[in-house]
Amino acid sequence: VSGASSPIDVTGLTNGTSYTFSVTATNTVGNGASSTPSSAVTPAITAPGLPTGISASGSNGSALVSFTAPTNTGGATITGYTVTATPVAGGTPITASGASSPIDVTGLANGTAYTFTVVATNTVGNGASSTPSSAVTPAPIAPGVPTSISASGSNGSATVSFTAPSNGGSAITGYT
């Protein structure tokens, strides 16, 4: 690309591709020597592409969402990801953010099926939303371990006392 003076606008470059630039001066005698190349520049950075391979595994009131980062970063470093959990039967979506895969999405209702989408963000903004994951239903987990166990004996029996554990997201129905 030629121009009469500085600056010169170079067009037709591929967004997200890194370039260096050299300048050569021309007069009536001809071209001078080429300058030292500039530092690398990436023109017209765009939002990143979409993450792929979305999968989730549910636990008590949450889901751990894994994904593969987009191959197209838009020419800039991805600064984070946002996961959206959408109830299959309708309702208010829940979001969670993180720097990389996997991301733990909390505040989900046990017994409710959710699909998950992921959006990558760079300095330009949010990219396209991923294809939704298969539906996952968070469910309670087994209760924790009782603590502070003590026993007192009497004629042919014992009374056992303890502190109840975490219920794992579901009411404890009994002890053995």
Residue 52 near residue 127, CB atoms below 8 Å: no
Q: Of 163, 102, 166, 162, which Cα lies nearest the Cα of 136? A: 102
Residue 44: the pLDDT is 63
> Is the pLDDT reported for residue 29 higher than 90?
yes
pTM of the complete model: 0.64
CA atoms of 75 and 84, how far apart (whole Å) = 24
37-46, 70-79, 83-92, 113-122 — which is least confidently predicted?
A: 37-46
| Tens digits of residue pLDDT in 101-153 | 999 999 999 989 999 999 999 988 999 999 999 999 998 777 889 999 999 98
